[in-house]
Amino acid sequence: MLTFELVSPERLLLSVQASQVSLPGAEGDMGVLPGHAPMIASLRPGVIEVEGEIDADEARIFVGGGVIEVAQDRLVVLADEALPVSQLDRAGLDQRIQNTREDIEDAKDDEARLKAEARLQHLQDLVAAIG
């Protein structure tokens, strides 16, 4: 088994034994199994899928990006943001996307438009995590 730890800037969010962890790497999707070679890599926004000793509600986790470190049967994910996919609400996200599109149209300057576009991309990443 592999010790999997998910850490946010504030605290340890999850620590479980896993048989495999699938991750959205910045260079493409990747899987980590026990005995994986040591490495450090960047994550893009996407879903981490954990197989092993974990509740089904916690097995799929959206991360907004971050860094992973693999060393000696241990995987640590330092996530910018982490939310269980089971807690995402599609209808609420769809409404927020519509509101953000309106914010982009109504933006008074480039800075406000760029912020709204970044927020829209983040919301679309969350919807993609739901499937």
Q: What is the per-residue burial (b if ≥16 Cβ within 10 Å, else e) of 102-125?
A: ebeeeeeeeeeeeebeebbeebeb
**pLDDT for the residue numbered 4:** 96
For residue 4, the Cα-to-chain-centroid distance in whole angstroms is 15
- Higher per-residue confidence, 129 vs 100: 100
The residue type of 109 is: D
Single out the residue of 73, 71, 72, 81 nearest to residue 24, CA to CA: 81
Asked whether residue 54 carries a pLDDT value surpassing 90, the answer given is no
Instruction: Give the residue-averaged pLDDT of 13-39.
Output: 95
Token pair recorded at residue 46: 């996407």
**pLDDT for the residue numbered 61:** 93
CATH class of the domain comprising 2-86: mainly beta
How many whole angstroms separate alpha carbon 39 and alpha carbon 127? 30
Helix runs in the chain, H state only: 90-106, 110-130
Residue 34: which residues within 8 A CB-CB, separation 6 or more?
A: 1, 2, 19, 73
Handedness of CA 39, 44, 49, 54 (dihedral sign): positive
The residue type of 49 is: E
pTM of model > 0.85: no
